[in-house]
């Protein structure tokens, strides 16, 4: 077989292809990047991110809408910048994410603030910069928000997050719309809480929202949640309350190989049809995709440290571990793995390998039973690593977090340098260090 023709690897990332048996992303050789920057290394395709964003926006062009990228999926500044330049909004869950959005050039007026536990300082900062909306999850939170806004002589725009008691078919840890989990206001009490919010002097009721989970692959759970939401809206609007935006959350899934999955436009058209049918087609539609905007745009490049064929299993030990990419260990996620350079059949034998990291945990694996032809010293590439990869990376085992590169058709740009051991140690003090406080915790 000729290796001259470029060959695609993955239908959801056409920017990734073998050219002369070497894997390239947007025309940039991944083994070259690994040689320059070391591994583990995250590499993102800017083109793939923009294409994913357009997939949400094109069906909404004739509608009042705001796509709010869920920052927690990948909060790297340059990733936010790519989206901010397109006028994308942002869904944040902390003041740290807010500062990231502002640093990357995002507009505060396009930011919605989610999360079950918002601290006072976080609320104050968000009011001060003028965010679009607080997505409120409880009466306690509403009252604190009202008090803080009143003290600042400002008004806080509010949407209530409903718990629509819809459980999508997904991993338990990433399902958020069920009765048994901590998120949202129960339907039974939501109308009462809206009436209370409407009476509070420093609160502006502007929206209604839900978010039912992550890696969802069916439209039906969204429509069930939307129906609950619209039923409540019927009641509230009959009482004279006007809700200007409807926020359907995020959670649309991505493909990890070639499994069937519809595009976000199918989800959007079903939602728009339902809004029209129920008389709410004139409202601003807010949607909060995270994974589906960046997940397939990123790969993790890792070097093969050694091969350890044993009687029971063949282990391929790589230099990326669960601290760099936790999804397989934490969610049992399947992530497709390919060779960075297609090995010659005479150098390696194809058999099944467990691709495992160097971290001292048996759960530290990236892929199990994968048919590969690994060669020690060469590189593997883990696909669909753009979301919940770097943003969940930790320093467990005192491992510096990876570097990140953004490629576009003309450039490969270093967007985060690799952490150093010094970075990891610099905030710590030995007991004898001169900066030790004279009394415990500085009290007295």
Q: Which residues bind ligand PLP (CB under 6 A)?
A: 70, 72-73, 91, 114, 211, 214, 249-252, 288-292, 387
Largest CA distance in the chain: 77
Q: What is the spatial distance between Cα 308 and Cα 306, in angstroms, rounded to a whole number?
A: 7
Long-range CB pairs of 411-414 (<8 Å, 24+ gap) are 412/28, 412/33, 412/43, 413/78, 414/37
Nearer to ligand PLP, 47 or 250 (CB): 250
Catalytic, out of 88, 228, 316, 360: 360
* Residue in the shown chain whose Cβ atom is closest to ligand PLP: 290
Question: The tokens of 195 are what?
Answer: 């009436």
Question: Catalytic: 360?
Answer: yes
The DSSP letter of residue 15 is T
List residues bridging with 130 in a β-sheet.
none
Return binding residues for substrate.
291, 327, 331, 361, 388
Return binding residues for pyridoxal 5'-phosphate.
251, 288-291, 388
161 closest CA partner among 286, 268, 264: 286
Q: Is 26 left (phi over 0), alpha (psi -120 to 50) or beta?
A: left
Q: Is 433 helix (H, G, I), strand (E, B) or coil?
A: coil
Q: What is the spatial distance between Cα 298 and Cα 360, in angstroms, rounded to a whole number?
A: 26
Q: Rounded to the nearest 5°, which phi and psi values hold at 320?
A: -100, 140
Rounded least distance, CB 91 to ligand PLP, Å: 5
Nearer to ligand PLP, 63 or 171 (CB): 171
Rounded least distance, CB 53 to ligand PLP, Å: 13
Helices (H), 43-94: 46-57, 77-84
Rounded least distance, CB 114 to ligand PLP, Å: 4
Return binding residues.
251, 288-291, 327, 331, 361, 388
Element containing residue 36 per DSSP (H, E): helix 30-37
128 closest CA partner among 163, 153, 103, 147: 153
Nearer to ligand PLP, 162 or 405 (CB): 162
Nearer to ligand PLP, 90 or 353 (CB): 90
Nearer to ligand PLP, 18 or 90 (CB): 90
* Burial label, 272 (beta-carbon count in 10 A; 0-12, 13-18, 19+): middle
Nearer to ligand PLP, 268 or 359 (CB): 268
Rounded least distance, CB 68 to ligand PLP, Å: 8
The DSSP letter of residue 298 is E
Rounded least distance, CB 253 to ligand PLP, Å: 8
Rounded least distance, CB 42 to ligand PLP, Å: 17
CB 202 within 8 A of CB 154: yes
Residues 6+ apart with CB under 8 A from 240: none
Task: Give the catalytic positions in this structure.
Answer: 360
């Amino acid at each position: 077989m000729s290796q001259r023709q470029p060959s695609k690897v993955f239908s959801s990332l056409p920017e990734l292809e073998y050219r002369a048996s070497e894997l390239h992303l947007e025309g940039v050789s991944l083994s070259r990047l690994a040689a320059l920057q070391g591994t583990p290394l995250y590499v993102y395709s800017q083109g793939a991110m923009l294409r994913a964003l357009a997939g949400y926006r094109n069906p909404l062009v004739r509608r009042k809408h705001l796509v709010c990228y869920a920052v927690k999926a990948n909060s790297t500044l340059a990733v936010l910048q790519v989206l901010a330049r397109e006028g994308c909004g942002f869904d944040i869950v902390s003041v740290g994410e807010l500062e990231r959005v502002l640093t990357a050039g995002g507009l505060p007026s396009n930011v919605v603030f989610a999360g079950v536990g918002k601290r006072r300082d976080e609320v104050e900062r968000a009011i001060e910069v003028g965010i679009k909306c607080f997505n409120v999850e409880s009466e306690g939170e509403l009252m604190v928000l009202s008090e803080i806004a009143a003290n600042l002589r400002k008004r806080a725009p509010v949407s209530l997050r409903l718990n629509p008691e819809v459980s999508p078919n997904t991993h338990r840890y990433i399902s958020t719309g069920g009765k048994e989990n901590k998120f949202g206001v129960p339907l039974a009490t939501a109308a009462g809480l809206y009436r209370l919010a409407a009476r509070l002097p420093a609160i502006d009721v502007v929206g209604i929202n839900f978010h039912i989970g992550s890696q969802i692959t069916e439209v039906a759970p969204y429509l069930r949640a939307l129906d609950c939401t619209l039923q409540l809206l019927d009641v509230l609007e009959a009482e004279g309350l006007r809700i200007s935006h409807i926020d359907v959350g995020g959670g649309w899934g991505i493909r990890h190989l070639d499994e069937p999955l519809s595009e976000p436009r199918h989800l959007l058209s079903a939602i728009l049809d339902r809004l029209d049918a129920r008389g709410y087609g004139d409202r601003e539609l807010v949607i909060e995709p995270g994974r589906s905007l960046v997940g397939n745009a990123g790969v993790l490049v890792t070097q093969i440290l050694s091969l350890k064929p044993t009687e029971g299993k063949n282990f391929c030990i790589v230099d990326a571990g669960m601290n760099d990419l936790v999804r397989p260990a934490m969610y049992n996620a399947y992530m497709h793995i390919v060779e960075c350079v297609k090995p010659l059949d005479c150098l390696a034998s194809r058999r099944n390998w467990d691709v495992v990291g160097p971290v001292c945990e048996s759960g530290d694996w990236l892929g199990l039973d994968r048919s590969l032809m690994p060669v020690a010293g060469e590189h593997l590439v883990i696909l669909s690593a753009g979301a919940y990869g770097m943003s969940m990376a930790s320093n467990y085992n005192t491992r510096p977090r990876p570097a990140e590169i953004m490629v576009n058709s003309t450039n490969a740009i270093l967007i985060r340098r690799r952490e150093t051991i010094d970075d990891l140690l610099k905030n710590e003090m030995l007991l004898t260090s001169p900066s030790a406080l004279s009394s415990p915790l500085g009290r007295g």
